[in-house]
């Protein structure tokens, strides 16, 4: 890492000794190279010492100019393609990949809402969909956490919005974006401050009521929660509220994870479906299965009909989540509650096969073999 600081310092010293004409052109090129190489420390040092607008295009070696976010989305290689340790020894820093460099640039006030004219008028959301499938959703979540939702209605040169573009490439990403637009930006959920102010006084009042509901739920303040529910009811508004962080998590999921049994009951009685999903298709039981709380599983199944075999976007049931987390008691609770241990996920993996994979990491699951086999027959 000392070498990394030296590399960064040398870059800055090089700038200091450039002539007047060169100084006007070289800084942007050096910054674009630092972004493309994933050199986070160099980017931070450069921005701290030189006036730079991260919303303007930067020159690249091939004559192309792109915005910093576009460079991060198109130039940083996947981590499976680079030898990390030799890179650290040679260059002196650990290269940052898409989400790391993007978050760094976003926190430095790079605006994620724009169209890249030099790349077929694509938005950052379009560019995220050009990444390998495994990286797409992580990058989409990050961009939308930094208020990139303004891109959802923008079309590229082919006339495709991000959701329509995703539909041509990845069904899972297309569904995720569709869910985000329907839930995150609808009249039933205005948790995004820029949209709240744009919609006027009524939206501000609705936002305040939702904030009161969320705050009471997190504080586990039952009287305040009941009061907030009543305020929503009087205004004829739905208590189906989604959180901004994590993006797309229903309030009901967070309440269950917090262990607030009475508040969970109140929310359900107010009309929120137990089967409500987040944008990855996960129901509350998926999350509870990964927690060490079999009592919560019993409470939820007693409260309302629950689909213990519900699948997320990859076909995993709550049983898969319990096994991956090493929660033997939850595995028992799920199977005794009616979960089907023979259901495979969309990749063809069975719970028993997953158990064999996870056993070295979670020896406590050993007793689950007989239970899985007895219920599979």
User: Contact at 8 Å (CB) between 69 and 32?
Assistant: no
Specify the pLDDT at position 6: 54
Mean pLDDT over 346-368 rounds to: 92
Mean pLDDT over 270-296 rounds to: 86
Looking at per-residue confidence, does 305 or 219 come out higher? 219
Looking at per-residue confidence, does 271 or 171 come out higher? 271
Closest-CA residue to 289 (of 305, 312, 272): 312
Mean pLDDT over 43-50 rounds to: 88
Specify the pLDDT at position 156: 94
Specify the pLDDT at position 18: 43
Alpha-carbon gap, residue 341 to 199, rounded angstroms: 48
Looking at per-residue confidence, does 12 or 102 come out higher? 102
Query: Each residue of 10-46: pLDDT tens digit?
Result: 555 444 444 333 444 467 888 988 898 888 888 988 8
Specify the pLDDT at position 182: 56
3-state secondary structure the chain: CHHHHHHHHHHHHHHHCCCHHHHHHHHHHHHHHHHHCCCHHHHHHHHHHCCCCCCCCEECCCCCEECHHHHHHHHCCCHHHCCHHHHHHHHCCCCCCHHHHHHHHHHCCCCCCCCEHHHCCECHHHHHCCCCHHHHHHHHHHHHHCCHHHHHHCCCCCCCCHHHHHHCCCHHHHHHHHHHHHHHCCCCCCCCHHHHHHHCHHHHHHHHHHHHHHHHHHHCCHHHHHHHHHHHHHCCCCCCCEECCCCCEEHHHHHHHCCCHHHHHHHHHCCCCCCCCCCCCCCHHHHHHCCCCHHHHHHHHHHCCCCCCCCCCCCCCHHHHHHHCCCHHHHHHHHHHCCCCCCCCCCCCCHHHHHHHHCCCCHHHHHHHHHHHHHHC
Looking at per-residue confidence, does 187 or 369 come out higher? 369
- Pairing outcome for strands 242-243 and 65-66: unpaired
Query: Each residue of 251-267: pLDDT tens digit?
Result: 999 898 888 889 999 99
Q: Is pLDDT above 70 for 351?
A: yes
Band (pLDDT 50/70/90 cuts) for residue 87 is very low
- Tokens 């091939």 map to which residue? 62
Q: Average pLDDT of the chain? A: 80
Band (pLDDT 50/70/90 cuts) for residue 86 is very low
Q: Is pLDDT above 90 for 242?
A: no
Mean pLDDT over 293-318 rounds to: 85
Q: Which domains does the chain have, with CATH numbers?
A: 1-111 (no CATH), 117-185 (1.25.40), 200-376 (1.25.40.20)
Specify the pLDDT at position 2: 47
Specify the pLDDT at position 377: 59
Q: Is pLDDT above 90 for 318?
A: yes
Beta bridge partners of 258: none
Mean pLDDT over 174-193 rounds to: 58
């Amino acid at each position: 890492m000392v070498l990394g600081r030296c590399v960064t310092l040398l870059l800055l010293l090089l700038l200091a000794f450039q002539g007047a004409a060169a100084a006007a052109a070289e800084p942007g090129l050096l910054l674009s190279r630092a972004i493309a190489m994933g050199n986070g420390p160099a980017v931070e040092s450069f921005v701290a010492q030189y006036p730079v607008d991260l919303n303007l295009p930067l020159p690249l070696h091939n004559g192309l100019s792109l915005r910093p976010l576009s460079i991060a989305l198109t130039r940083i290689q996947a981590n499976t393609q680079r030898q990390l340790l030799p890179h650290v020894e040679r260059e002196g820093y650990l290269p940052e990949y898409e989400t790391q460099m993007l978050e760094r640039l976003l926190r430095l006030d790079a605006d994620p809402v724009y169209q890249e004219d030099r790349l077929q008028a694509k938005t950052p959301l379009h560019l995220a969909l050009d990444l390998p499938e495994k990286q797409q959703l992580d990058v989409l979540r990050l961009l939308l956490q930094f208020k990139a939702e303004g891109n959802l209605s923008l079309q590229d040169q082919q006339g495709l919005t991000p959701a329509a573009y995703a539909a041509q490439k990845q069904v899972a990403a297309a569904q995720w974006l569709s869910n985000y637009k329907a839930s995150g930006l609808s009249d039933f959920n205005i948790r995004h401050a820029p949209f709240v102010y744009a919609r006027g006084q009524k939206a501000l009042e609705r936002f305040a009521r939702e904030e009161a509901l969320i705050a009471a739920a997190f504080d586990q303040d039952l009287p305040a929660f009941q009061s907030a529910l009543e305020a929503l009811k009087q205004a004829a508004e739905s208590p189906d509220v989604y959180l901004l962080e994590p993006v797309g998590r229903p309030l009901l999921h967070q309440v269950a994870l917090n262990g607030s049994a009475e508040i969970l009951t109140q929310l359900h009685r107010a009309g929120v479906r137990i089967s409500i999903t987040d944008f990855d298709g996960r129901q509350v039981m998926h999350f509870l299965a990964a927690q060490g709380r079999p009592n919560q599983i019993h409470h939820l199944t007693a409260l309302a009909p629950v689909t213990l075999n519900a699948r997320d976007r990859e076909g995993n049931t709550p049983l898969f989540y319990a096994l991956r987390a090493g929660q033997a008691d939850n595995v028992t609770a799920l199977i005794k509650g009616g979960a089907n241990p023979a259901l495979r996920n969309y990749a063809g993996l069975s719970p028993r096969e997953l158990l064999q994979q996870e056993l070295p990491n979670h020896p406590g699951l050993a007793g689950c073999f007989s239970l899985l086999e007895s219920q599979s027959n």
